[in-house]
C-alpha cells in the first residue's frame, strides 16, 4: 500500500508528440512549420513530369523534405535541398497538376497552389518568343580603313606559256626518253 504521495510539478514531465519526438510542454518551440511554396511549374515528358518550385520560408528550421503530389495521381518525396523533382509512372494523354509540401522538424507545412496543367506524351506547348524577330539579311560590305588610300584595281600578270612537246611518231619514244 502507498503510504505517501508527493505532488510533482507538471514541468517535470515531457510529452511525446505524434511524430515520436519528445518535447518539454513548458518550453517555447524554436520554429514553426514551413510556409506553403508558391505554385510550382510543371513540364510534361513522355510518362512523367518535371516539377520545379522556389523554396518557401522554412519556419525557423531547415526544410528536411518536399513532397510532390500529382492530381489525379503520382507522388515523389525529395530531400530538403531540392527545388525540382520528376514524377514518374504517369499516364500519357491524361492532364495532371502538382502541389508541393515542405516539411521541417516541426512538421509538414500547407500545400502550394496547383501547378500549370500538363499532359504527358502529348505535344509540348509552343510558347511565343516576344523578343524574336525574323532574320534580317544584310549584304556584306567591304570597308577600307580611313587611314589607307583606296587601292588600284589589280591587273592580271601575263603568264608564261608552256611549250608543248613535239609530237612523236608511233613506236618512237619522245626525245630524252630511252626506247624500250
Please tell me the distance from the alpha carbon of residue 4 to that of residue 33, in angstroms, as a whole number.
44
pLDDT band at 13 (very low <50, low <70, confident <90, very high): very low
For residue 40, tell me if it sits in a domain: yes
Say yes or no to pLDDT of 99 above 90. Answer: yes
The grid cell for 99 is 502541389
More confident residue, 158 or 101: 101
Least confident of 4-8, 47-51, 114-118: 4-8
Domain count of the fold of the chain: 1
The predicted-structure confidence for 144-174, as pLDDT tens digits, reads as follows 555 555 555 555 555 555 455 555 555 555 5
Note the pLDDT of residue 30: 72
Whether the Cβ atoms of residue 104 and residue 33 lie closer than 8 Å to each other: yes
Please tell me the distance from the alpha carbon of residue 29 to that of residue 61, in angstroms, as a whole number.
11
For residue 36, tell me if it sits in a domain: yes
Distances (CA, A) of 29 to 26, 153, 167: 9, 89, 112
More confident residue, 25 or 89: 89
For residue 22, tell me if it sits in a domain: no
For residue 145, tell me if it sits in a domain: no
Note the pLDDT of residue 26: 47
Say yes or no to pLDDT of 103 above 90. Answer: yes
For residue 79, tell me if it sits in a domain: yes
Please tell me the distance from the alpha carbon of residue 114 to that of residue 112, in angstroms, as a whole number.
6
- Identify the CATH number of the domain in which residue 81 sits: 2.60.40.10
For residue 117, tell me if it sits in a domain: no
For residue 165, tell me if it sits in a domain: no
- The boundaries of the domain holding residue 37 are 32-108
For residue 63, tell me if it sits in a domain: yes
Sign, CA torsion 105/108/114/119:
positive
Three-class HEC string of 5-68 = CCCCCHHHCCEECCCCCEECCCCCCCCCCCCCCCCCEEEECCCCEEEECCCCCCCCCCCCEEEE
Note the pLDDT of residue 73: 96
Say yes or no to pLDDT of 60 above 90. Answer: yes
Amino acid at each position: 500500500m502507498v503510504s505517501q504521495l508527493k505532488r510533482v510539478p507538471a514541468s517535470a514531465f515531457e510529452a511525446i508528440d505524434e511524430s515520436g519526438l519528445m518535447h518539454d510542454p513548458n518550453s517555447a518551440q524554436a520554429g514553426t512549420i514551413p510556409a506553403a511554396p508558391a505554385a510550382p511549374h510543371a513540364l510534361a515528358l513522355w510518362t512523367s513530369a518535371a516539377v520545379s518550385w522556389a523554396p518557401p520560408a522554412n519556419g525557423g528550421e531547415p526544410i528536411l523534405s518536399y513532397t510532390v503530389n500529382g492530381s489525379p495521381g503520382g507522388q515523389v518525396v525529395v530531400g530538403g535541398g531540392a527545388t525540382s523533382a520528376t514524377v514518374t509512372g504517369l499516364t500519357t494523354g491524361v492532364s495532371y497538376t502538382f502541389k508541393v509540401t515542405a516539411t521541417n522538424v516541426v512538421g509538414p507545412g500547407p500545400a502550394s497552389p496547383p501547378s500549370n496543367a500538363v499532359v504527358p506524351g502529348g505535344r509540348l506547348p509552343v510558347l511565343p518568343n516576344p523578343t524574336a524577330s525574323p532574320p534580317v539579311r544584310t549584304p556584306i560590305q567591304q570597308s577600307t580603313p580611313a587611314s589607307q588610300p583606296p587601292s588600284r584595281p589589280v591587273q592580271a600578270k601575263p603568264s608564261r606559256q608552256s611549250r608543248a612537246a613535239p609530237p612523236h611518231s608511233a613506236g618512237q619514244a619522245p626525245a630524252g626518253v630511252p626506247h624500250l
